[in-house]
Amino acid sequence: EVEYASEFRYRNPIISPDDAMFFISQSGETADSLAALREAKIRGALVMGICNVVGSSIPRETHAGVYTHAGPEIGVASTKAFTSQLVVLALITLNLARKRNMSLIDGKNIALEMDKLPKKIEQILKLNDQIEDIAEDLKDAENFLYLGRGYNFPVALEGALKLKEISYIHAEGYPAAEMKHGPIALIEEKVPSIFIAPHDSTYDKIISNIEEVKARKGTVVAIANENDKDIDKLVDYSIKIPETIRMLMPILSVIPLQLLAYHIAVKKGLNVDQPRNLAKSVTVE
């Protein structure tokens, strides 16, 4: 289960001493997360932290945890902190799976794929100029849709959040499968749709969603695998990223979305590091 820390205490959660809970925070001082942590601790759960700031409140109050060691993050909108949290969660998942029923070969293959991530991220960062050109074309849009399936739905949420935080443009992240249940009514030429479309088991479904948007004259940007030539015929812009296994794809697919939000904000003349009304750490409820 994934919970919003701000809502956790107010729904009378069922927690037992057999439960383990992870509290994820860049600063380690988020008020809602600390309150939820204390509630879980009172009820006897094993509480663990995933934090960036060494010695902050969450690491001090949890039973155990992991520091992400992303280094100081100056900008209010998290980027490297988010990416490092994904890596830590993937490592925890791998460790737990190996202790249960994952074979040595499968575990080794995942570890090897993780070891390749830094070079693949370097490849994506070389796409900066292309992403800046896309930002130039889209910077005047007033609404964006971000769509993904499976592992990449949370990436759609993160991409939309980054755009809202630093560009002050309304953006929504949705599971692509839910597009017909409301968001499709927003589709028009002036509303860009950003699809996270790696070549995995949901690829054909994502392509179907893209075709539906294009049939309604929508503008489409696709984050796709570097060897996917077919998608270029369907979309207005494609950003090609290296392939990896499904569980690690969000670590790569989020980076073009962060860069897109950054360049749009810069082209609008906005302060990327200190967006209005936001604080780096939310220390009050």
The CATH superfamily of 125-267 is Glucose-6-phosphate isomerase like protein; domain 1 (3.40.50.10490)
Over the chain, what is the mean pLDDT? 92
User: Each residue of 231-278: pLDDT tens digit?
Assistant: 999 999 999 999 999 999 999 999 999 999 999 999 999 998 888 877
> Residue 189 above 80 pLDDT?
yes
Phi then psi dihedrals of residue 126, to 5 deg: -70, -10
- Taking the whole predicted model, whether its pTM rises above 0.85 is answered as yes
pLDDT digits (tens, 9 = 90+) for 137-162: 999 999 999 999 999 999 999 999 99
CA 171, CA 68: separation in Å to the nearest integer? 28
Q: Which residues pair with 240 in a beta bridge?
A: 224
Separation of alpha carbons 115 and 109, rounded Å = 10
The Cα–Cα gap between 124 and 122 comes to: 5
H/E element holding 161? helix 153-167
Please give the Cα distance from 146 to 133 (Å, whole number).
Answer: 19
- In the chain, what are the domain boundaries? 5-117, 125-267
Which CATH architecture describes the domain 5-117?
3-Layer(aba) Sandwich (3.40)
How many residues in the chain? 285
Say how far apart CA 175 and CA 187 lie, in whole Å. Answer: 15
Give the mean model confidence (pLDDT) for residues 217-225.
95
| 181 compared with 157, residue with greater pLDDT | 157
**What distance, in Å, lies between the first and last C-alpha atoms of the chain?**
22
Burial of 64 (0-12, 13-18, 19+ CB in 10 A): exposed
Alpha-carbon span 56 to 26, nearest angstrom:
10
What whole-number distance in Å separates Cα of residue 248 and Cα of residue 141? 31
Give the model confidence (pLDDT) of 75-131 as tens digits. Answer: 888 889 999 999 999 999 999 999 999 999 999 999 999 999 999 999 999 999 999
Longest dimension (CA), the chain: 56
pLDDT at 281 > cutoff 70? no
Strands (E), the chain: 20-25, 46-51, 64-67, 143-148, 170-175, 192-197, 219-225, 237-241
Note the pLDDT tens digit of each residue in 19-69.
Answer: 999 999 999 998 999 999 999 999 999 999 999 999 999 999 999 999 999
